[in-house]
């Protein structure tokens, strides 16, 4: 199991990418063409959070609610289990 804690301040659309390995192109840009986990907090004007398997892909998990604030810092911890489970809280 691995976990990371993030702090952010944003009105909406916070994207977190979880990659199995470092995927960089020759110019140092992250290559997001393969499968990875994309977590979006505050999607659709801060009305929901989603988890996808590819960039801008189909939503695998979707939860309604407000997740972002442009006034105060938000703390989120992402847990990635050895069997592929993801928990965001």
The phi, psi pair for 10, rounded to 5°, reads -160, 150
Q: For the chain, what are the domain ranges? A: 10-70
Among residues 83, 72, 89, the alpha carbon closest in space to that of 5 is found at: 89
3-class SS of residue 44: helix
Count CB-CB contacts under 10 A for residue 86.
14
Count CB-CB contacts under 10 A for residue 67.
21
Structure tokens, 74: 């938000």
Instruction: Give this prediction's pTM.
Output: 0.84
Provide block-wise average pLDDT over 10 residues at a time, the chain (89 residues): 95 90 62 78 97 90 97 96 89
């Amino acid at each position: 199991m691995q976990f990371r804690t993030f702090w952010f301040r944003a009105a909406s659309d916070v994207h977190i990418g979880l990659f199995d390995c470092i995927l960089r192109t020759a110019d140092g840009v992250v290559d997001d063409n393969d499968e990875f986990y994309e977590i979006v907090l505050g999607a659709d004007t801060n009305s929901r959070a989603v988890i996808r398997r590819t960039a801008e892909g189909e939503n695998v998990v979707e939860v309604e609610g407000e997740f972002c604030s442009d006034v105060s810092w938000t703390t989120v911890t992402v847990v990635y289990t050895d069997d592929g489970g993801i928990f965001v809280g």
